[in-house]
Amino acid sequence: MPAPDVDADRVTNNVLKQSPSSVVELGLYDHLDLQARQVLQKRTAVLRCLIDNKDTTELIPLAVVGLGGEYFGLELETVHEFIAIHKIAPIPCCPPHIVGNINLRGEIITLIDLNDVVGLPINAMRSHSQAVVVRLEQRVAGIVVDAIFDVAYLHPSQLKPAPGSRHSNNDDYLQSVAPYQNWMMTIINLSKLLNSDILVVDEEV
């Protein structure tokens, strides 16, 4: 899977569609350097006028990330922020998909490796450098990703049922598939994932 360049106009435009008045508070640009942030902020005022005139109520907002060489979409309403991982504290006696804990501004966040959860090969040499922090009511977790590409808006007509053979052991968490650029993107049902027992560790030392 090629890693597309970040298109500042497209990312800014898509994020503003979600909430034009709270771009800074979203935290979605925290993984970018200062120069990139300044460029995006300068374009905000111009894009705001255009976006206010567009009807996006039917569109589905997704954060597009890379996992195991494939594109995946995460429900943007559940995404809290994108972060860089600096130090991971291992958790003893945990299943393979529990990477460990990180301290995010005083809050302890558990990192999940979705490769195992959605049936992708596990790479023991994988470098955990980026994560998407997701929140649903009282549940919060960090999803380790290989790359953060985009914020995309799709029309419901673009969504197709996920093929059962694609990740047959974990279809419960795979909501649908949709085209993204020249590739297909699998959309993960984060709400179902976070409400499942996937975050519960019931092991004894």
pLDDT tens for 2-37 read 444 444 444 444 444 444 344 444 455 666 677 766
Sign of the dihedral through C-alpha 148, 149, 154, 156: negative
Closest CA to 73 of 150, 10, 19: 150
pLDDT tens for each residue of 116-144: 777 777 665 667 889 999 988 888 899 99
Six-digit token string for 177:
């598939």
Angle at CA of residue 61, ends 187 and 199, nearest 5°: 50
Best CA proximity match to 38, nearest among 19, 24, 52: 24
Residue 1: which of 69, 73, 47 has the closest Cα? Answer: 69
Which token pair is 138?
A: 């009282």
Q: Which domains does the chain have, with CATH numbers?
A: 58-196 (2.40.50.180)
pTM: 0.67
Residue 44 pLDDT level (bands cut at 50, 70, 90):
low
Q: Which of 24, 123, 143, 127 has its CA nearest to residue 83?
A: 143
pLDDT value at 178 more than 90: yes
Pairing of strands 98-104, 107-113: antiparallel
Residue 56 has pLDDT above 80, yes or no: no
Structure tokens belonging to residue 197:
């027992």
pLDDT band at 64 (very low <50, low <70, confident <90, very high): very high
Give the model's confidence band at 111: pLDDT under 50 very low, under 70 low, under 90 confident, else very high: very high
Yes or no: say if 181 and 4 are a contact pair by the CB < 8 Å rule.
Answer: yes
Ramachandran category for residue 93: left, alpha or beta (phi over 0 → left; psi -120 to 50 → alpha): left
Tokens, residue 105: 């501004």
164-175 residue pLDDT tens: 644 445 557 788
7 in helix, strand or coil?
A: coil
Amino acid at 4: P
Q: Which of 32-41, 151-160, 162-171, 190-199 has the lowest mean pLDDT?
A: 162-171
